[in-house]
A and B are shown apart, each in its own frame.
Chain A
Amino acid sequence: MMRLPRFHYYRPRDIREAALVLAGEENAMVIAGGTDLLPNMKRRQQTPRTLVALRHLDELKRVTNGSGLVIGAGVTLTDLVQDRGIKSAYRGLWQAAAQVATPHLRNMGTLGGNICLDTRCNYYDQNHEWRKAIDFCMKKDGAICWVSTGSKTCLATSSTDTAPALVSLGAEVELETAHGQRTIPLHELYRDDGIHYLTRSNEEILTRIILPDGAGTRSVYWKLRRRGSFDFPVLSVAAAIRFGAGGAVDEARIVLGAVASQPVLCDSASEFLNDRSLTDEVIEEAAALCARAAKPVKNTDFSPHWRKRAVARLAAYALQELRGDDMRATREKIARQAL
């Protein structure tokens, strides 16, 4: 078995204490479910000296209604998937969470951990010996990028399933330190940089995810991966639309996952949809605009060329489902499960 490196482990009483430890310790990281962090530590991709545990903190596990919905960062993906309210009002988020990893990993994995998930690359997500064999890259221990040897930045892929869905729903996140807190739109938490992919400072703890009122908005999430379980996305399309009277689009937000180091907002496609009805032609045009926004690189499963070509197809499925088409058979083929 691959062994974890040595580390200190703190089990704080509350968020405040967690924040204090985080601020006081050098090279400390928070751990929620550990389903991303622990494998990375075994492979020596991430080597924190100190782990600050959040998993046991009840205050992070609450789902509360306000004008919209507030979800604690420590809510597990399984709990989220079992929440009927989320399933009906925030379908896209539910579909995304239901397709993360495997049932076992969803039992442990949290929403906060999923949002902060490390970016991925198949030169980086390897054990230490493998990376030594090929030579280390700039994301950890090295200087070069193997995906694009001329690149000045790391191009590791944002692989979180829930983030595109949450961004499409207009989610905000609350970040807390020992000294205070701030709330920002979720998409501002991300940065298109495979190493510094979050704008969160190391002292900040993600505490709550705030969703606006879901009434009147329909949302969906389509994920592409080789197998019906386990796999991270190689491409995903999250779309949320508020329809106006008469069935035309009032407001649309389409977000792509796994095609950059952050979730990619397809503004041109979203704007194009405004005031239009989702006819086949409109869907095709919008899907083509989405494809233009995607710039996958060669560091996941499947070739970037194929992934790019699949964008329009997947975006069209998403919009067709939002229009109300019966997509169950197609879902079954793509997701290998009913969603």
Chain B
Amino acid sequence: MSKENSYSVIGKPRRRVDGADKVTGQTCFADDIMLPRMLHCKLLRSHVPHALIRSIDTRKAERHPGVKLVLTGRDFPNEYGILPVSQDEQPLCREKVRFVGDPVAAVIARDEFVAEEALELIRVEYEPLDTISDPVEALKQEPARLHDYSEEGNIHKRLSYEFGDVEESLANSAHVFEDIFFFEGNTHLPLEQHAAVGVPEAEGRVTLWSSTQCPHYVHRAVAKALDLPMAHVRVIATPNGGGFGGKTDPFNHEIVVARAALMLGRPIKICLNREEVFYCHRGRHPVLMKFRTGVDVNGALTAMHLQTLLDGGAYGSYGVASAFYTAVLQPVTYHLPRYAFDACRVFTNKPPCGPKRGHGTVQPRFGQEVQLDKIADRLKIDPAELRLNMVEKPGALTANYLKIGSIGLAECINRVTERSGWKDKYRKLPSGRGVGLACSSYLTGAGNSIYWNAMPHSGVQLKLDRSGRVTVFCGATEIGQGSDDVLVATVAEILGIDPLDIRCVTGDTDLTPVDLGSYSSRVTLMMGNAAIQAAERARDLIAQAAAQKFGADAEVIEFAGGRVFNTGRPEQEMPFQEAVVCAEEIYGSLGTTGSYTPAPPPGKYKGGGVGPSPAYSYTAAVVEVEIDTASGWITVPRVYIAHDLGRTMNPVLARGQVEGSVYMGLGEALMEESAFRRLPARLSGALVHREPSMLEYKSPTSTDMPEVITDLIEYPDDNGPFGAKEAGQGPLLPVIPALANAVYDAVGVRIDEVPITAEKILQALDSKARGGSGRVGPAKFPELEWPEPYRVPPPWEGGDGNAVNKPQRKRAAKMHDMDRFRKVTAS
């Protein structure tokens, strides 16, 4: 399918532009920033899981030698939060703490040590409240409500949608499968702990350096929380030492140091320790899921009803979007004629969950792909055949109105099954050894911003001058994924110059045009398209100038190898730098801009804005496992993965993303879990993260990494720059269910929950040996009252993307927050 590419930079293996700096220690991370007169900040965090704050006495701490300032919730005027519908966070808690780790006070002192000492001197009087440790408790609706604005009790949000009459289809299906799965929460574990430096500027302005993935959203939040005009706040994203979604929310510590810098007139730095990073969290939601799926005699899907229950932790974060994502992408992989989903997110007294690589889609993908394996097993169809028979068509509009572009999924499946020798292995290996297959798809950028607006999602600006050097500016953030490299490569390709002749300036809200940030796999596509536009505009100017010089038409001017030439008369040529000089002579100082705004989504129903994306990536994976039946000990010798990324920008980095996803997926599949300790009230009533440390939160090491056989499959998408789609998140998804399916192939037991540990395998083997189900997993999905669904007929049933009914919804309490934001930015 993929055409031999004729590009000179795109698709060629190159050393990443920021690579040398990183390996030689030149990269300046937030914690590396040292400024004259800088002070240090530490936060006092709640050690109780849920309580009213009766009083805070900071007098002793204020008198402690070396302490310059102590702040509490009263020093901050406004709430903030990432989504306009959940502005529920305070920089420091004022009335209430909601989990162990919620900050209540900040000390700014000469150094970290003194600040830490002073924290000990702060007296906080708490009035304990009942604690909610999981969704079942949250649904009980007892008085201990975390937030007043929740829909009801501790139910943050319920969603209900129906695309066609699913019940009818299920009744008419040859088979209906009902399965319940559980996906335990886990966290991002970036190597770099969050850090930020607030720097005061003249006239009450402030600069915030922070290891954030989304400087633009931090910019909004700081302005709002501190009642500052956005024009007086500058946010600079430092290169992130890993993010994975853990640095996409605006954080309390960022707002605190900005405020303190303004109050003291000195730079203030904060570096979280590892425990605090676990408390910032925003990681994978624990999700309980129930799938009712109908298939025809060939195993092709007829309808699906999916219900999900998310444990959201203590705050909203991206939670409403996460809830949508536990359902909206199900129809994008295989053709699904009718679909319904209900999703519910609850509040609990634990660190807030949010977006982690694959945001919300990882959990239901696990459920769906394991269920498909069960379907194939029951109907005696090869799981690869089952899937190949129903891969969605390119250009399709799904039942829930997601517009798909290119789909390379069939080739991905064929590639991994060939490479792994699937036909000779599936159900044919000796006991204890097995293979499993799974597929997935993922967004290439959310089609909508997190706050409604009609402006571009990404902007790029180019500056060129007589030096021949091109500087490219963009708000995008380098979090290790290689976005700076994509930016430079794109401009280099269009202008036909060496990537080394381009400097990029990124993630600075004063200097760079807005880009929404490094999340939802949006950067390559959105920034890339904006960069193409800016670079083409620059190229056109230079081409005009060169044409004038050659006495030729601008159309015949080409750019390649650092030279500009007349294709009709190749002897007419000049170095790129000279061509820029010509252009500067004619047009004066040179600068161009480009921007990208995704097309409006075809689904016009309320909520139809979550799920649409300019393009979808596709992945297939085969995982091999070996299991010791006496202990359940599990080993993964090899993983085969094929990922359709549309177009490879730089194969070195793309492979890194795919293999990094395999690594992270295996961690989630085998060991990672954000587990909590709950002690009964008669003991200590504690509800704490079980092991907030890098040693005891188990994430695989290099020794645990299997051999990975990677194939990059290119089905260019019309919406992508050069056809490119995403590669950073999608490849994680199939790894987890493929591993679960391999366990079944190896020893005939089903582990319907993640992580899949030796203990659970042994438990399932024991159960099987006793004649039991040979399954470990959740038994039931709690009874829940769902609201009336939005009924949207699918396109092939005469639907036009609108709902045919008008379900009543309770309005959330704090909806006026957006207005307040507008006022703030206007003032």
CB < 8 Å: which of B48, B632, B671, B701 contacts A230? B701
Q: Within 8 Å of chain B (Cβ to Cβ): is A245?
A: no
B688 touches A336 (CB 8 A): no
CB distance from A297 to the nearest CB of B (A): 15
**A7 contacts chain B at the CB level, 8 A cutoff:** no
Is A215 in the interface zone, CB < 8 Å from B? no
- B112 CB contact (under 8 Å) in A1, A149, A301, A334: A1
Report the minimal beta-carbon distance from A230 to chain B, rounded to whole angstroms.
Answer: 6
Closest B residue by C-beta to A3: B113
Please report which residues of chain A, range 228-269, place their CB below 8 angstroms from some CB of chain B when the two chains form the complex: 228-231
Question: Is A226's CB under 8 angstroms from B275's CB?
Answer: no
**Is A133 in contact with B701, judged by CB distance below 8 angstroms?**
no
Q: Is A280's CB within 8 Å of the partner chain B?
A: no
Residue-by-residue, is A110-135 near B (CB-CB < 8 Å gives 1, otherwise 0)? Answer: 00000000000010011101101111
Q: A132 touching B47 by the CB < 8 A rule?
A: yes
- Interface flag for B628 (CB, 8 Å): yes
User: Could you tell me the distance between the alpha carbons of A313 and B632 in the complex, rounded to whole angstroms?
Assistant: 11
> Does B683 contact A1, Cβ atoms closer than 8 Å?
no
Q: Which of A79-136 contact B (CB under 8 A)?
A: 122, 125-127, 129-130, 132-135
Q: Tell me which of B161-169, B474-482, B690-698 binds A.
A: B690-698
- Nearest A residue to B634 by beta-carbon distance? A333
Cα distance A133–B692 when bound, in Å? 13
A11 within 8 Å of B (CB atoms) = no
Q: 1/0 per residue A313-339: CB within 8 Å of B?
A: 100000000000000000001101100
Which residues of A sit under 8 angstroms from B633, Cβ to Cβ?
333-334
Whether A333 pairs with B626 at a CB distance below 8 angstroms is: yes
> B700 within 8 Å of A by Cβ?
yes
Residues on the A chain within 8 Å of B112, using CB: 1, 3
CB < 8 Å neighbour of B688 from A130, A228, A301, A309: A130
Q: Please tell me if the beta carbons of B759 and A227 are within 8 angstroms of each other in the complex.
A: no
A122-B690, A301-B696, A303-B759 given as contacts; is B273 within 8 A of A135 (CB)?
no
Known: A126-B693, A129-B45, A306-B759. A1 touches B271 (CB 8 A): yes
**A9 interface contact, C-beta 8 A:** no
B679 at the interface (CB under 8 A from A): yes
Q: Which of A146, A227, A334 contacts B701 (CB 8 A)?
A: A227
- Nearest residue, chain B, Cβ from A303: B759
Bitwise, B749-763 to A at CB < 8 A (1) or not (0) is 000000000110010
Q: Which of A122, A135, A309, A313 contacts B686 (CB 8 A)?
A: A135
Q: Is the CB of A134 within 8 A of B116?
A: no
- Quick one: closest A residue to B701, CB to CB? A229
Name A134's contact: one of B677, B704, B762 (CB within 8 Å): B677
Asked if B298 lies at the interface with its beta carbon under 8 angstroms from chain A, I say: no
* C-alpha gap A130/B279 in the complex (Å): 11
How long is the Cα–Cα vector from A229 to B700 in the complex, in angstroms? 9
Chain B residues contacting A1 (CB-CB under 8 Å) are 112, 271, 273
Taking the complex as formed, is A310 at the interface, i.e. its CB lies under 8 A from any CB of chain B? yes
Say yes or no: A228-B704 contact (C-beta < 8 A), given A3-B116, A129-B45: yes
* B167-197 contacts to A (CB < 8 Å): none
Chain A hits for B389, CB < 8 A? none
Residue contact A133 to B683, C-beta cutoff 8 Å: no
The interface residues of chain A lying within 8 Å CB-to-CB of B679 are: 134, 146
Give the residues in chain B near A130, CB-CB below 8 Å: 100, 275, 688-689, 692
Whole-angstrom CA separation of A138 from B533 in the bound complex: 66
Q: Could you tell me the distance between the alpha carbons of A334 and B632 in the complex, rounded to whole angstroms?
A: 12
How many residues on chain A are close to B (CB under 8 Å)? Answer: 34
Task: Name the A residues within 8 Å of B695 (CB-CB).
Answer: 125, 230-231
Q: Least Cβ distance of B187 to chain A in Å?
A: 16
What residues of B have a CB within 8 angstroms of the CB of A305 in the complex?
759
Q: Are A313 and B273 in contact (CB under 8 A)?
A: no
When distances are taken between beta carbons in the complex, the residues of chain B under 8 Å from A229 are 701-703
Min distance, Cβ A189 to any Cβ of chain B, angstroms: 26
Asked if B631 CB lies within 8 Å of chain A CBs, one says: yes
Report A247 CB to chain B, min CB distance, Å.
26
* Contact code string B314-338 (vs A, CB < 8 Å = 1, else 0): 0000000000000000000000000
Closest residue to A102 on the B side, CB-wise? B701
CA of A122 to CA of B683 in the docked complex: distance in angstroms? 17
B784 contacts chain A at the CB level, 8 A cutoff: no
Interchain CB contact under 8 A, A313 and B759: no
Residue B827 at the A interface, CB < 8 A?
no
Cβ contact within 8 Å between A134 and B688: yes
B631 close to A129 (CB less than 8 A): no
How long is the Cα–Cα vector from A144 to B696 in the complex, in angstroms? 23
Contact status B701-A122, CB under 8 Å: no
Main secondary structure of the interface of A (DSSP, over half): loop
Known contacts A133-B100, A133-B688; A302 and B759 CB within 8 A of each other: yes
Q: How far is the CA of A122 from the CA of B113 in the complex (A)?
A: 26
The distance in angstroms between the C-alpha atoms of A333 and B703, with both chains bound, is: 11
Contact A227 B698 (CB under 8 A): yes
Tell me the bound Cα distance from A226 to B700 in angstroms. 9
B635 contacts the other chain (Cβ, under 8 Å)?
yes
- Least CB distance from B672 to A in Å reads 11
Chain B residue at minimal CB-CB distance from A142 = B684
Specify which chain B residues have a CB less than 8 angstroms from the CB of A132 in the assembled complex. Answer: 47
Knowing A1-B273, A3-B112, A129-B45 are in contact, say whether A336-B704 is a contact too (CB < 8 A). Answer: yes
Q: Pick from A133, A144, A337 the residue with the most CB of B within 10 Å.
A: A133
Chain A residue numbers with a CB within 8 Å of B689 are 130
Taking A1-B273, A129-B275, A334-B633 as contacts, is the C-beta distance between A226 and B677 under 8 angstroms? no
- The interface residues of chain B lying within 8 Å CB-to-CB of A226 are 671, 698
B630 interface residue per 8 A CB criterion: yes
Bound CA–CA A230/B626 (angstroms): 23
A127, B119: Cα distance in complex, Å: 15
Q: Shortest CB–CB separation between residue A159 and chain B, in angstroms?
A: 12
Residues of B within 8 A of A333 (CB): 626, 628, 633, 635
Residue among A2, A135, A231, A336 making CB contact with B684, cutoff 8 Å:
A135
Q: Which residue of A lies closest to B113 (CB)?
A: A3
Roughly how many angstroms separate A302 CA and B758 CA in the complex, as a whole number?
9
Which A residues touch B113, using CB under 8 A?
A: 3
Tell me, in angstroms, the Cα distance from A305 to B757 when the chains sit together: 14
Determine which of A144, A146, A227, A334 lies in contact with B700 in the assembled complex, contact meaning CB atoms within 8 Å: A227
A127→B759 contact, CB < 8 A:
no
- Quote the shortest CB–CB distance from A140 to chain B (angstroms): 15
Question: Chain B contacts of A134 at CB under 8 A?
Answer: 677, 679, 684, 686, 688
B424 to A: closest C-beta gap in Å? 21
Say yes or no: A2 contacts B48, CB within 8 Å. Answer: no
A336–B762 Cα distance when bound, in Å, is 20
Provide the residues of chain A in CB contact with B691, threshold 8 Å. Answer: 122, 126
Chain A residues in 8 Å Cβ range of B628: 313, 333
B738 to nearest A CB, angstroms?
Answer: 20
Question: Could you tell me the distance in whole angstroms from the C-beta of A1 to the nearest C-beta in chain B?
Answer: 6
Point out the residues of chain B lying under 8 angstroms from A126, CB to CB. Answer: 691-693
Specify which of B48, B49, B700 lies most central, judged by the most chain A CB atoms within 10 Å of its CB: B700
CB contact between A133 and one of B48, B696, B698, B762 (< 8 Å): that residue: B48
> When the two chains form their complex, are residues A127 and B275 in contact, meaning their CB atoms are under 8 A apart?
yes
Q: Which residues of A contact B683 (CB under 8 A)?
A: 135, 144, 149
Show 14 A/B contacts (Cβ-Cβ < 8 Å), sorted by A.
A125-B696, A130-B100, A130-B688, A130-B692, A133-B100, A144-B683, A226-B671, A226-B698, A227-B700, A228-B701, A229-B701, A229-B702, A306-B758, A334-B633
Having A122-B696, A129-B275, one finds 16 other A-B pairs with CB under 8 Å, namely: A3-B112, A125-B696, A130-B100, A130-B275, A130-B692, A132-B47, A227-B698, A228-B703, A228-B704, A229-B701, A231-B695, A303-B759, A305-B759, A306-B631, A309-B631, A333-B633
The 4 closest A-B pairs by CB, nearest first: A228-B703, A135-B684, A133-B47, A134-B686
Residues of A within 8 A of B (CB): 1-3, 122, 125-127, 129-130, 132-135, 144, 146, 149, 226-231, 301-303, 305-306, 309-310, 313, 333-334, 336-337
Q: Which residues of B contact A (CB under 8 A)?
A: 45, 47-49, 100, 112-113, 116, 271, 273, 275, 626, 628, 630-633, 635, 671, 677, 679, 683-684, 686, 688-693, 695-696, 698, 700-704, 758-759, 762
